[in-house]
Amino acid sequence: MKIVHYLNQFFAGIGGEEKADVGLEARAEAIGPARLLAQKLGGASVVTVICGDNYAAEHLDAVTDELARLVAAEQPDAVVLGPAFNAGRYGLVCAALAAELPARTGVPAITGLYEENAALELYRSRALIARTGKSAANMAAAMETIARLVPRLAAGECIEDPAAAGLYGSGGRRNQVVERPAADRAVDMLLGLLAGEEVGTELAVPEFEPIAPPAPVPNLGRAKVALVTEGGLVPHDNPDGLTTGWSERWASYPVEELVGHPERFQAIHGGYDTEHVNRSPFRLVPADVVREMVAEGRIGELHDRYYVTAGMATPVRNARAMGAQIADELKRQGVDAVILTAT
Amino acid sequence: MLTRTTHPVREVAAGAAGYRDGRLSLDLDALTALVTDDPRIAAAHLAVVQPGERTRVLNVLDVFDARKKEDGPTYPGFDGPPVAAGSGRTHVLDGFQIVASGLLPTGEGGLMVARQAFIDYWGEGARWSPFAATPTLAVDVRLDPAIQDKAVADDAVRRALIRLSTAIGALAVDAADGADEQVPASWERPSAAAGGPPRVAYVYQIQSQGALLETFLYGADIAFMYPTLIEAAELLDGAMVSGNHGLQTNPTVHHTSNPVLRRLLAEERAGRLTLLPVVLMEGHHKSTPAKQRSAAHAVQLLRALRAEGAVFTQEGGGMSIVDQMLTIEGATAAGIRCVGITYEMAGEQGADTPLIYYSSAARHLVSTGNREERVTVDAAERVVGLDTGESTFGANLGGPLTVPLYALYCSTSQVGGTRVRAVAV
Amino acid sequence: MAQEIERAGIPTAVFTALDTIAQSVGCYRIVRGAGVLHVTGNPALTPPQERAWRRRLIERALQALQTPVERPEVFAAGG
């Protein structure tokens, strides 16, 4: 069996965050987790592709192209991405590649994510994603699942029961007509419950696993605050082409520009009447007041860019993915606290 | 004690009025005159529609069965004073329905506009419909165009349907072939014995949001109603009539023959549960405190009834889901086992989050389908109702159409009167 | 979106007019904004009044950011 295996800088053993900008590199050997997978496959010939998380996230199109070319040249039986467990950038890149490569190359691809990874909701309908635990501590089990799936995919099998195989289903809902009306099924379900049976559900409520509340800012006078908005406030020419709703992209713009020339900004959100905000953008992004407070020493620093999406009708999975990317960026910029305006 | 006497209808045809041996014969001229016997109604076109015909009934406003109470009003508050329903004998024709088609004044537009869903009696459209398999008297109502008041127009249609329902129901009153079903009142049920069948309630959420999005209880709209108790027998005996033309609605027949209630009663007769009085609540509240107040009171009623389990239904759009979830949450916290019936809004591809609001307490839900999944239907040979060329669903409503599931009237019935559901893929 | 930022450990003060939904999603520090059309604005006031009013709103957000919370809390801006 021949595998092309994609890893980030960390899993390839090159380095940590400081190596996140390395470009794409291919090696004719199994490295790190790729060796584990090859073992579980009973031996396999592997080309390991390594790429830094930042580089991949910022040059996704180019990376996809290059990887597609490589796969076309190498003709592996399957492409394995990661697994990425709960990693933000790595997860999004692995899932995006797992979605795109089969269409481009005809070679099946598979990745692995933890169920809370924002990339899951965004890509589960388009990519084969194995269920993994939260961190690399779960690597052996994750590779076990992937190793069982790879030969089936290589043989061209269409996996009928994703859950049984350890995959997330596409997560979609499909209508069907059944024998018994819903009223009957509901009464049956209730009687089963009252008899102490395990009755399940026809529609699973998502587990909003509560995240730990972030600790308060210890010293506001030394803190770096950033402004984020879902209200679609952009420069007049909308240079990043943000859409008025059903957002998939986010952008950031200089606060200096907004404070100095608010008339150059407008709200492009399709879900509310933007007249008031257009007359005074600080009604959506309160940069004037926050700037003032920085000057007074009340707040340590205002991050020099504000972040924006248009929140109308944004599918939850897109909001989560964008939120995860923005959160990544904020962390890298050393932001201590955020003021977020929603509509 | 209500005795509900059902008469099976095996065949429906136009002809001299009568019901005999399962054959219902309708004098369309006389029935038309009955409909137009109201100056608000300019004209009406009545037609018998059989399942399997390539007929499409447009702009469906409501569906009634045909019924007649032996003594007393059949729809108290409308065809007589608002006396309590639920006792005596009521005759119901089983296997027949009256479907109203009509265009109501739209006023200022927006939310309060009667929707334009249709029923196909053949093919793909019929597959998804709860009403396509029942022989139908289709009533195309043309209102006096001078009427601009939505409530006035709506009232005219409703009363016409009530006249039809009772006139046709009356044909079966002397028939010999009725099957009796007893629906006891709460005070006629034996007191709960320890170890007896579980005590089950039905939390019945209905909507009242103004003209065209209303429900009538004994002839009055239910706006600002606190959750209350009502007997199953009353509901199955014409106490509640629909005035709801929203995207998600429960037509009158789903109130007067509520599928959840009928099933609960069947299980009660089999000794598997004890049915409690129904908790009737207005839903679709638009503010958080109103939702909380309503849910809290409904839960108090359930506790006062010592309910052990409850089924929860909805009426209306996403807001009604929030009300249902909040009530389930409160009831679950009080130790009551809860099952909810809900439709889904998972987008055209089925890939979006199905519900706008969840409670983690709602662990047992029954789905009535993703209303946004597309359905493709063929052209009809006959169309009942007026196609203005400007409908939500396309310019030629009689032709081939690709429409969201909600264009097929009540396909995602919120009281569970549908065989449609969505599953995970 | 706010939840993802909080997940990264960054305290976030969320201005919204629809606090039930924010609470249900699990945002921890919610500041009730001034309405969907101008969440940190008040067009009924003169510009200097509005700016002073916005300042009080942001003060409330800063207070939220400095307050330890265990469950979603709504910080209502007074006045």
pLDDT in tens, C33-72: 776 667 788 888 888 888 988 998 899 999 999 999 888 8
C-chain CB neighbours of B358 within 8 Å are 24
Query: Residue C79 above 50 pLDDT?
Result: no
For residue A253, give the 3-state DSSP assignment.
strand
Q: Kindly give the pairing relationship between strand B88-94 and strand B67-69.
A: antiparallel
Determine the Cα angle at B108 with ends B105 and B109, to 5°. Answer: 75
| pLDDT, tens only, A57-74 | 888 989 999 999 999 999
Q: Output the DSSP codes for A173-234.
A: EEEEE-SS-HHHHHHHHHHHHHTT-----SSPPP--PPPPPPPPPS-GGG-EEEEEESB-EE
Interface of B with A in 146-205 (CB under 8 A): 198, 200
Separation of alpha carbons A43 and B104, rounded Å: 72
CB A102 within 8 Å of CB A80: no
What range does the domain containing B241 cover?
A: 2-407
Q: Determine whether the interchain pair A217/C9 forms a contact, defined as Cβ–Cβ distance below 8 Å.
A: no
The pLDDT of residue A240 is 83
The pLDDT of residue A14 is 94
Looking at the complex, does the CB of residue B290 fall below 8 Å from at least one CB of chain C?
no
Preceding omega of B81 cis (within 30 degrees of 0): no
Separation of alpha carbons B97 and B137, rounded Å: 6
- Give all chains having 3 or more CB-to-CB distances under 8 Å with chain A: B, C
Looking at the complex, does the CB of residue C35 fall below 8 Å from at least one CB of chain B?
no
The pLDDT of residue C42 is 82
Alpha carbon dihedral B354, B360, B361, B365, in 10-degree steps, equals 20
A-chain CB neighbours of B360 within 8 Å are 205, 207-208
The pLDDT of residue A314 is 57
For residue B259, the chain A residue with the least C-alpha distance is A183
Q: Which of A249-253, A318-322, B202-206 has the lowest mean pLDDT?
A: A318-322
The pLDDT of residue B74 is 98
Looking at the complex, does the CB of residue A28 fall below 8 Å from at least one CB of chain B?
no
The pLDDT of residue A214 is 92
| pLDDT, tens only, B14-58 | 999 999 999 999 999 999 999 999 999 999 999 999 999 999 999
Q: Given B263, B337, B425, which is nearest A172 (Cβ)?
A: B425
For residue B114, give the 3-state DSSP assignment.
coil
Q: Determine whether the interchain pair C15/A340 forms a contact, defined as Cβ–Cβ distance below 8 Å.
A: yes
Sheet hosting strand B240-244, strand order edge to edge: B220-221, B213-217, B240-244
Domain residue spans of chain A = 2-165, 220-341
What's the mean pLDDT in A154-167? 86
Looking at the complex, does the CB of residue C76 fall below 8 Å from at least one CB of chain B?
no
Looking at the complex, does the CB of residue B18 fall below 8 Å from at least one CB of chain A?
no
In which residue ranges of chain B is pLDDT below 70? 107-114
CB A113 within 8 Å of CB A129: yes
Interface contacts A/C by beta carbons within 8 Å: 165
Query: Residue A7 above 90 pLDDT?
Result: yes
How far is the alpha carbon of B322 from chain C, nearest alpha carbon, in Å?
10
- Mean pLDDT over all residues of chain A? 90
Q: Determine whether the interchain pair A282/C12 forms a contact, defined as Cβ–Cβ distance below 8 Å.
A: no
What's the mean pLDDT in A8-24? 93
The pLDDT of residue B207 is 92
Q: What ipTM was predicted for this assembly?
A: 0.96
pLDDT-derived band at A6, boundaries 50, 70, 90:
very high
**Which position has the token pair 């009535």?**
B368
How far is the alpha carbon of A122 from chain B, nearest alpha carbon, in Å?
10
**Range ranked top by mean pLDDT from A283-287, A330-334, B96-100, B144-148:** B96-100
How far is the alpha carbon of B267 from chain A, nearest alpha carbon, in Å?
9
Q: Determine whether the interchain pair A316/B309 forms a contact, defined as Cβ–Cβ distance below 8 Å.
A: no
Q: How many domains does chain B have?
A: 1
How far is the alpha carbon of B108 from chain A, nearest alpha carbon, in Å?
19
Q: Which amino acid is at B163?
A: R
The pLDDT of residue B212 is 87
Looking at the complex, does the CB of residue B288 fall below 8 Å from at least one CB of chain C?
yes
The pLDDT of residue B413 is 97
Separation of alpha carbons B202 and B338, rounded Å: 10
For residue C22, the chain A residue with the least C-alpha distance is A342
pLDDT-derived band at C3, boundaries 50, 70, 90:
confident
**Which position has the token pair 């103004």?**
B210
Closest by Cα among B74, B39, B264, B270 to B155? B39
Query: Residue A106 above 60 pLDDT?
Result: yes
Burial of A295 (0-12, 13-18, 19+ CB in 10 A): exposed
Dihedral sign, CA of C33, C35, C41, C46?
negative
For residue A301, give the 3-state DSSP assignment.
strand
B-chain CB neighbours of C20 within 8 Å are 288, 291, 322
> How large is the C-alpha radius of gyration of chain B?
21
For residue A94, give the 3-state DSSP assignment.
helix
What's the mean pLDDT in A115-141? 90
The pLDDT of residue A208 is 59
Looking at the complex, does the CB of residue C37 fall below 8 Å from at least one CB of chain A?
yes
B-chain CB neighbours of A182 within 8 Å are 341, 366-368, 413, 416-421
Q: Is B421 a domain residue?
A: no
H or E element in which residue A118 lies = helix A118-123
Looking at the complex, does the CB of residue B415 fall below 8 Å from at least one CB of chain A?
yes
Looking at the complex, does the CB of residue B15 fall below 8 Å from at least one CB of chain A?
no
Q: Where are the alpha helices (DSSP H) in B108-147?
A: 123-127
Q: Determine whether the interchain pair A342/C12 forms a contact, defined as Cβ–Cβ distance below 8 Å.
A: no
Cα B343 to Cα A188, B75, B85, B360, B417, distances in angstroms: 18, 29, 30, 17, 12
Q: Is B415 a domain residue?
A: no
Architecture per CATH, A2-165:
3-Layer(aba) Sandwich (3.40)
How far is the alpha carbon of A293 from chain B, nearest alpha carbon, in Å?
34
Instruction: Return the axis-axis angle of helices C47-65 and A287-295, rounded to nearest 10°.
Output: 70
The pLDDT of residue B302 is 98
Model pTM? 0.72
Q: Determine whether the interchain pair B360/A186 forms a contact, defined as Cβ–Cβ distance below 8 Å.
A: no
